[in-house]
Amino acid sequence: KFSDHEERLSGSDREEDEDDVEAALKKEVGQIRASTEQKLRRFQSVESGANNVVFIRTQGIEPENLVHHILKDMHTTKKKKTRVILRMLPISGTCKAFMEDMKKYTETFFEPWFKAPNKGTFQIVYKARNNSHMSREEVIKELAGIVGSLNPENKVDLNNPQYTVVVEIIKTVCCLSVVRDYVLFRKYNLQEVVKSSKEDTQQKSSLTEEQNSEVVKAETEEEEKSSKEVKEENK
């Protein structure tokens, strides 16, 4: 039913009002569509709250698989594809950066990797930015205990673990992920992962030569000292 005001409108006035309503509806639909498309973008930059840290939100993409694929490609081809990015870390889960919240969240978060019958060797790496109330030792101890409680066969390996639990705390947010090949891919450092094994060998060789020279130097000093002692005894 029309109101009294609408009934008094002439045919042309009513058509103009209908046109205005239609235009307003089209505009609103366009705004909603644009907003929805923005929310559904595959990659979207989000303010991280820390200097020199960029947070990229993904849509329909597993961040661990994406970052592992990128690093594997760079490790294989040895092609440097960025000059400004130092490290790229996937973030699969977030919670409040308070010990109780982290313990409660990780009891479920760790299950796909560490809950029996799943098992593996692991290490935990921790970094905090703009946060001073968390204790690195306490976080590592508590999270390692949770991994162990999910399956006693999960063992710590600091040299070459199957999984690395990455804990990145930014202000009051704890970012978590469980990654593979952390040691092989140089702690997920994009600048280091493209270095060839030949360069690594040269660096190790140089280091060994320096160590050997220090040993030779020390032995020479010992010989000189012994020689002086012998001379003094002869006198």
The 10s digit of each residue's pLDDT in 23-38 is 888 788 777 776 665 5
Domains and CATH numbers, the chain: 45-188 (3.30.2300.10)
Q: Residues 6 or more apart from 195 whose CB is under 8 A from it? A: 78, 186
DSSP-derived secondary structure letter, 189? B
Q: What is the pLDDT of residue 230?
A: 47
Which H helix or E strand runs over 165? strand 163-170
CB 169 within 8 A of CB 127: yes
Question: Phi and psi (nearest 5°) for 220?
Answer: -65, -45
Q: Residues 6 or more apart from 30 whose CB is under 8 A from it? A: none
pLDDT band at 215 (very low <50, low <70, confident <90, very high): very low
pLDDT band at 69 (very low <50, low <70, confident <90, very high): very high
CB 97 within 8 A of CB 50: no
Q: What percent of the chain has pLDDT over 70?
A: 72
Q: What is the pLDDT of residue 15?
A: 58
Buried b (16+ CB within 10 A) or exposed e, 185-198: bbebebeebbeeee
Residue 99 one-letter amino acid: M
Cis bond upstream, residue 117 (ω within 30): yes
pTM for the full model?
Answer: 0.67
CA trace torsion 48, 136, 141, 93 (10° rounding): 0
Structural tokens at position 81: 């594809």
